[in-house]
Chain A
Amino acid sequence: MATPRTLASIWAAKTAAAASRALRRGGGTAASGLVGLWLNPGLIHDLAAQLGEGCVVVTGTNGKTTTSLLISETARAAGLLPLANSSGSNLTRGIASALAMAVDADGGLDDAGRGLGVFEVDEATLTQALPELNPRVAVFTNLFRDQLDRYGEVDTVVARWRDVIANAPPELRLVLNADDPNVASLGKDRDGVTYFGVEDRNLDAGAPEHASDALFCRCGGRLEYAVAFYGHVGHWSCPSCGRIRPKPNIAARLIKLGDGHSARFQLESHGEKSTLQLGIGGLYNVYNALAAAAAAEALGLPRTALESSLTSTGAAFGRQEAFEVDGRRVEVYLGKNPAGLNQVLSTLLLDEARRTALIVLNDDIADGRDISWIWDADFEIAAGRLEHVIVSGTRAAEMALRLKYAEWYESTLEVVPDISAALASALGATPDGECLAVIPTYTAMLTVRELLAARAGKEPFWR
């Protein structure tokens, strides 16, 4: 039974969300969660404890939102009721808000026995969120440099993760990316780990990309790569101390990336193989699908549910999400750090018909105030490929300069800092029946998405 304090905090959180929406200040997830946690710091713990199927948390630099969506849809296909912070609001306030909105005024959850919490958690928030949620499964997707001014260095994040795992109960099952040396190292000396990875040498990029953050082993030796997929993700080993990539329990083979709008691969799970067609494209989404498959296995969800979710689930919020506007298809590819942006670029270049793009660089706190990361992304791979590029956002000029130095023709670049004007210009530059690719940072994505949703008649994001 909910305590009066919990009831008061639920009521306050719901009221704050309603007020925030009425004032048109967005979805209200931040405000409502903050108010709820202020009144009852144990709100997350109290409400999550009702979930009959427990919780799974998903953390890492890239892929949290898509992986969480795939897990939620698998749970739904298995007859469970997933409860998720699906708009990507992944600090404790976002989790608290998702829970407070899901319960009724008495603090009860409908059909709580079938409830499964699926929460994506910010890399730095895991330390607080994990003990509150006490999840059955924790998924770690990958770890790259991202917003160094906010998270600190990659090594700092790994050290935090290690601590939080060391203090977690032994029943916690880990789902780890075998191909990311930092993530794989979390499974050392622990039982109940499911590793996922890619087994397809045809996708070997030859060498780790510049955007690699694990070139050196913990022992100080330089890692060797038999196969490098993207960033520092691949088949690694350390000749100095003998540490090697764990063999994945869940693997993808025979990957076909096609034109980047979908991906086909063979999913192998403990020797059992099946061929799947993903509704989303790019190698990074194959990794997200593998993470979801490994999580589904760790949660004991049936394979039929997994397969149906992987084949039928479309894009998550702002991640390859498509809109129809005035006879043009507009695709939004969130790009917020070097490794993620490289994957976005290589995926959208798979479509040879692409000619127009809108790139939006903001430097708000949620984007990272420091924009120097754009120089670590390999814009060079797209040199000369696009005919018209509109550059926008608070730091538009500096993005345009980056593209100039990546040898994108200066004559194809148009600098329009105002996002609404830039979108209008980009739509105007996209011929009827063609596709416009939009690559925004996080806050820019929220703005772009709202503008597009209004024009395409889609629901706003807080639905």
Chain B
Amino acid sequence: MSDTTRILRLGHLYPSQMNIYGDRGNIVCLQRRCRLRGIELEVTGLKVGDVLRPDDFDLLFIGGAQDREQTLVCSDLAATKGALREAIDDGVVFLGVCGGYQLSGRFYRGADGVEMRGAGVFDLYTLHPGPHARRLIGNLAADWEGGSLAGFENHGGRTYLGSGCEPLARVLRGHGNDGDSGFEGAQYKNAFGSYLHGPILPKNPAFADRLLSLAMERRYGSGALSPLDDSLEQLAHASALKAR
């Protein structure tokens, strides 16, 4: 089967605000893994004010940010990206990392007690226990679908899942969503949220391919992807898994 003419459309939400912690590595990773398979990945940045329509993209990505930028994009999410939830209910693949994960929930209550409304992609909410609370920082390893996820987490907010979504992974070492439940990240349909940066996709190639496979299946009816030489990816994954 030749993939040569296939195209996937990726919408990158707020690339100039939500780009802390090497998040662009996730885009670079998806682009390369598509290109090597003859799939063209068209990446479109969505700025504040750009209207999102539910059928515009096959994949959507939102990264993390500093508090100031997070506040800037938060009101825009409700104003011009209201179709996000509709797209996800329709099976569009979504990945939210760190701050982008928090803003994809129902709400985020900051250290100052001020509540920001989220995009409502996931049935979850995030509470920051206050300016003097310990941040959850460090390398994290988690059990994921018979394999593993590895990366670095750094968040003040504690995320609590409702019954409308599942945890993405189980923490083996590190803090995860709230430092207590043993859950890391969330999943609803083809939407995924995670605290892992590092960035998450290059050193977790199986997870990167899961996103691409779901998008291909939805768009073209088959999620089969040709294998790649992932020897360096596996070496990096192993190194991140054992990092203290």
Binding site for B on A (CB under 8 A): 145, 148-149, 153-155, 210, 215-216, 220, 363, 369-376, 394-398, 400-402, 404-405, 410, 413, 415
Cα–Cα distance between A399 and B238 once the two chains are bound (Å): 13
User: Contact residues of B with A, CB < 8 Å?
Assistant: 16-17, 19-25, 28-29, 32, 66-69, 72, 137-139, 151-152, 154, 197-199, 202-203, 232-233, 235-236, 238-240, 243
With A397-B236, A415-B232 already in contact, 7 other A-B pairs whose C-beta atoms are closer than 8 Å: A145-B20, A370-B197, A376-B22, A395-B239, A400-B235, A402-B202, A405-B32
Residues of B within 8 Å of A220, CB to CB, are 72
Q: Are B67 and A369 in contact (CB under 8 A)?
A: no
With contacts A363-B243, A372-B199, A405-B29 taken as known, whether A410 is within 8 angstroms of B232 at the C-beta atoms is yes
The answer to whether A375 touches B235, judged by C-beta atoms less than 8 angstroms apart, is no
Q: A149-B154, A220-B72, A401-B236 are in contact. Are A372 and B25 (CB under 8 A)?
A: yes
Quick one: given A149-B154, A215-B16, A398-B239, are A375 and B233 in contact (CB under 8 Å)? no
Q: Which residues of B contact A155 (CB under 8 A)?
A: 66-68
Taking the closest CB of chain A, its distance from the CB of B71, in whole angstroms, is 9
A-B contact pairs, 10 of them (CB 8 A): A153-B67, A216-B69, A370-B154, A371-B152, A372-B151, A372-B198, A373-B22, A375-B28, A395-B239, A401-B235
Q: Are A405 and B235 in contact (CB under 8 A)?
A: no
Instruction: Say whether, besides A372-B152, A375-B199, A398 and B236 are in contact (CB < 8 Å).
Output: yes
A148-B20, A220-B72 are contacts. A372–B197 as well, Cβ < 8 Å?
yes
Check if B72 sits within 8 Å of A216, measured CB to CB.
yes
Known contacts A370-B154, A400-B235, A405-B202; is A375 also within 8 Å of B139 by CB? no
Chain B, Cβ-Cβ closest to A380: B28
**Are B243 and A405 in contact (CB-based, < 8 A)?**
no
Instruction: Report whether over half of chain B's contact residues are helix, strand or loop; otherwise say mixed.
Output: mixed
Whole-angstrom distance between the alpha carbons of A396 and B66 in the complex?
Answer: 28
Q: Determine how close the nearest CB of chain B comes to the CB of A412; give it in whole angstroms.
A: 13
Pairwise interchain contact A369-B138, C-beta atoms closer than 8 A: yes
Residues of A within 8 A of B202 (CB): 375, 401-402, 405
CA–CA, A215 and B28, complex, Å: 22
- Give Cα A153 to B64, complex, Å: 12
- B66 is contacted by which of A154, A210, A374, A404 (Cβ under 8 Å)? A154
- What residues of chain B lie closer than 8 Å to A376, measured between beta carbons? 21-22, 24
Query: Known: A154-B66, A369-B139, A376-B24. Is A404-B152 also a contact (CB below 8 A)?
Result: no
Residues in A whose Cβ lies below 8 Å from that of B29: 405
Contacts of B67 in A (CB 8 A): 153, 155
A215 to B20, CA, bound (A): 13
> Do residues A397 and B68 form an inter-chain contact, with CB atoms below 8 A?
no
CB distance from B23 to the nearest CB of A (A): 8
How many A-B pairs with Cβ below 8 Å?
Answer: 90
Find out whether the CB atom of A370 lies under 8 angstroms from the CB atom of B152. yes
User: Are A375 and B24 within 8 A (Cβ)?
Assistant: yes
Known: A369-B139, A405-B29. A210 touches B24 (CB 8 A): yes
The 6 A-B residue pairs with the shortest CB-CB distance in the complex, in nearest-first order: A375-B22, A375-B25, A372-B22, A397-B235, A401-B236, A397-B239
- B172 CB to nearest chain A CB (Å): 18
- Pick the most buried of B23, B24, B197, B198: most chain A CB atoms within 10 A of its CB: B198
Contacts of B28 in A (CB 8 A): 375, 405
Cα distance A370–B137 in the bound complex, in angstroms: 9
Roughly how many angstroms separate A373 CA and B22 CA in the complex, as a whole number? 5
How far apart sit A153 and B232, CA to CA, in the bound complex (Å)? 31
CB distance from B12 to the nearest CB of A (A): 13
Query: Quick check: B243 and A395 within 8 Å, CB to CB?
Result: yes
Alpha-carbon distance between A405 and B17 when the two chains are bound, in angstroms: 23
Residues of B within 8 A of A395 (CB): 239, 243
Q: How far is the CB of A405 from chain B (nearest CB, A)?
A: 5
CA distance A400 to B231 in the complex (A): 11
| A245–B96 alpha-carbon span in the complex (Å) | 36
Query: Per a CB cutoff under 8 Å, which of A145, A369, A397 touches B238?
Result: A397
Q: How far is the CB of A389 from chain B (nearest CB, A)?
A: 13
Q: Whole-angstrom distance from the CB of A73 to the nearest CB of chain B?
A: 37
**Alpha-carbon distance between A215 and B138 when the two chains are bound, in angstroms:** 28
> Closest approach, in angstroms, between the C-beta of B76 and any C-beta of chain A?
12
Taking a contact as CB atoms under 8 Å apart, the answer to whether A369 and B152 are in contact is yes
Known: A397-B236, A400-B235, A410-B232. A148 touches B21 (CB 8 A): yes
Give every chain B residue within 8 A of A404 (Cβ-Cβ): 232
The interface centre, meaning the residue of B66, B72, B137 with most chain A CB atoms within 10 A of its CB, is B66
B135, closest chain A residue (CB): A149
Tell me the minimal C-beta distance from A152 to chain B in angstroms.
Answer: 9
Which residue of A is nearest B231, CB measured? A410
A366, chain B: closest CB distance, angstroms: 15
Assembled-state Cα–Cα distance A375/B67 (Å): 21
User: B39 CB to closest chain A CB, in angstroms?
Assistant: 17
Give Cα A155 to B243, complex, Å: 29
Residues on A with C-beta less than 8 A from B235 are 397, 400-401, 415
Closest chain A CB from B99 CB (angstroms) = 11
On whether the beta carbons of B198 and A371 are closer than 8 Å, the reply is yes
Q: Which of A210, A397, A415 has the most CB of B within 10 A?
A: A397
